Chains A and B, each alone.
Chain A
Amino acid sequence: MAIISVRDLVVEYEGRRILDGLNLDIEQGETMILLGGSGSGKSTLLRQIIGLERPKSGCVHVKGVDITQCSAAELKTVRRSIGVAFQSAALFNSLSIADNVALTLREHTRLAPSIIELMVWMKLAVVGLADFGKLFPQELSGGMKKRAAVARALALSPEILVLDEPSAGLDPIVSAELDELIVLLKEAFQMTIVVVTHELPSAFRIADRIAMLYKGTFSSVGTKEEIRASTNPRVRQFLDRIPDEMAKTPAVAAYFEKYLQSPEAN
């Protein structure tokens, strides 16, 4: 049985349809990449999967619980098994990195402070930040912030790890380090990992399966080999980095023609 199951999911913002009847199953222990261009709806889908927003229709089951219909208490229980690292890292600036990681342990467990301290050190060590626990988020580089966010997401040893654009804004080396960290986490902890990205090298490095989003629908879902071999025009356009034809449409061409003949242009 899938650990995350999305059925006929429709999301609208102010009457504008963002996700249009999505269906997706994510199996336990697999790494699913939600791939797509800007505005394709991948972050919106992610927010539905972690229960931050309610859809117009359809449902999202996480560990068998429909998080679009469940009570607040049930949603909290489900959320304890999900670790999330946001695109902006979203670390609490008023807390040190160690306190950021310790927060959920202090709030959701009755562990002794010394045990929590040890666990925090272990989580930071996993992401290579064991010596940086006393620093505050504003004292870290972009890559370190992302890794700290992953450490915080791992605090309660969740079954599901959700990462929103982990490589965005990072240089290729730091980005590759994060990819290796994700692969390591999957191998070491057998986690189900959902990653939203538009970085192709990262996606093909860490994915078991890839779901390609285009304008709120899946244009293709499959293993990375299937996606690489796909003949779907949208998938090919994305993989081959082909720009849209917008600049060549007659309306745009006519506009530029008119502008060039106007006195302003001369």
Chain B
Amino acid sequence: MRGSDAMPPNSFKDDLVAEIKNLRAFAISLSGSVSLADDLVQETLLRAWSKSDKFQPGTSLRAWLFTILRNIYYSNYRKRAREVQDSEGVFARRVTVSGDQESHLDLEDFRKAMTKLPAEQREVLTLVGASGLSYEEAAAICHVEIGTIKSRLSRARAKLVELLALEETSEGLIERRLRHAG
């Protein structure tokens, strides 16, 4: 094999192994819990293995796996996820996201804000904004139109801006507080 560029094609198993990190990152983002995410990933891998004949070579394995994981999540885990989120600190590490001075964001604050979004918005943020999937792939994974993906995305961003109080002008902030005070 050495010196030859005609390497044998990866086996389905190797391709699966290469996707586990992304699958787990999606699962944690979606469920808000590392322990639930690990169960989800385990179940997804089992199902993917047993249904490997359903995968169409040449299409995105990541998108296919995300679809399976998402289906399992909504049919079996969603309720559990809500219970776990309340009682369990989701992420252990504290990291500050670097940026220019005005837009420093603490990653833990960001993650807390993420857990306050509806799952439909969280998943779209993760799929399109972080995992590098296209609008088309996200739409196929979530079984909705591309326009729905786009509107969920903009609602999610607006909500995060609000939760993290990222408005630039203090005037805007004050206005909002006044409105809340009613």
**Chain A complexes with chain B:** no
Binding site for A on B (CB under 8 A): none
